[in-house]
Chain A
Amino acid sequence: MKKNDIILAAAIFLFAGLLSAIIFFSGNERGSFVTVTIDKKVYGTYSLGENQDITIDTEFGHNVLHIENGSVSMTEADCPDGYCKRQGKISTEKETIVCLPHKLVVEIRGTNTDDGQTEEQTDGQTDEDYDILVK
């Protein structure tokens, strides 16, 4: 074991730390729409405002998305690994749920179409005020 090994490890951790800091401080706006993409094509866009279950059946497999109180989670999936079900609830624009075996990506969008109004001040956003955001 050499000193360079430790420097290398520290560099990787530092890089990962910086990257996660950037991710942590960006894209924290709560979205109001959720877009499902399957095999690079948009499958559908749904409002986060209403609580609903979205069943997705394609040639790749079966998934069920659960929307409740402005956050989305994957509740059913017949993929072999089931990682998507463990990715938990997502509600901010930077978060995704990915089901790689089904080539499925769930993204949160601020507006229905891209690059509409950009994010306003988001200081006072607490976890409870999604009702206001959703309107």
Chain B
Amino acid sequence: MNNFISMSKKISACGLLVALAMIFSYIETLIPINMGLPGMKLGIANLVIVTALYLLGPREALLISLVRIFLVGFLFGSGMSILYSLAGGLVSFLAMMFLKRTEKFSIVGASLLGGAMHNVGQLLVAAAVVENAKIFYYLPPLLCVGCVTGILVGLLALRILPMGQKIIQNAGTL
């Protein structure tokens, strides 16, 4: 199906999704769910990444994810926050790509593992920054939170995916 989309269509689709992911990242900063757990958030930007992974492919999804992280980091964050998002984003992306490859899981499974692994990646950086393994005491709650938000995002993606496929099909035959 990807063959139907020309290069320019693909680029514009990526640009669109980067913009969307950035908006989601911004919206997320407006929703305060501060429970004293570092790295805890809704992860709605992952909705874009996981959808792109299934809709366009791993290369495009990784590109969107990286561009989003750097743009959001430079706009609203700092050097450290880019490092944290980068670790979370990459670990989560690898996990999702792996699950998609196995073809034994749906987009919901990919999204929930992605959510959980995002937090694992961030904790790894945090543990490296302070060189203290006690930070991993935060792992169980963060795993659960990542899993729950990942399921919610995955269920949304499950509904969005057919619509996106329809759009791509129409664009291909236009």
- Residues in A lying within 8 Å of B, measured CB to CB: 1-2, 4-5, 8-9, 12-13, 15-17, 19-20, 23, 37, 39-40, 81-83, 86-88, 94-96, 98, 100-101, 103-105, 107
Contacts of A16 in B (CB 8 A): 139-141, 143-144, 147
- Chain B binding surface SS class: helix
- Residues in B lying within 8 Å of A, measured CB to CB: 34-38, 80, 104-106, 108-109, 112-113, 116, 126, 129-132, 134-135, 137, 139-141, 143-144, 147, 151, 154-155, 158
Report the tally of A-B residue pairs with Cβ distances under 8 A.
Answer: 94
Whether the Cβ atoms of A9 and B130 lie closer than 8 Å is no
| Contact A8 B105, CB 8 Å, known A81-B38, A88-B36, A101-B80 | yes
Contacts of A107 in B (CB 8 A): 132, 134
Partner of A103, one of B106, B112, B129: B129
A81 to chain B, nearest CB (A): 7
| Contact A100 B104, CB 8 Å, known A8-B112, A12-B113 | no
Contact sample, A vs B, 22 pairs, CB 8 Å cutoff: A1-B155, A2-B104, A2-B106, A2-B108, A5-B108, A8-B105, A9-B109, A9-B112, A12-B144, A13-B144, A16-B139, A16-B143, A19-B143, A20-B141, A83-B38, A86-B34, A86-B35, A86-B36, A96-B132, A98-B126, A98-B130, A100-B38
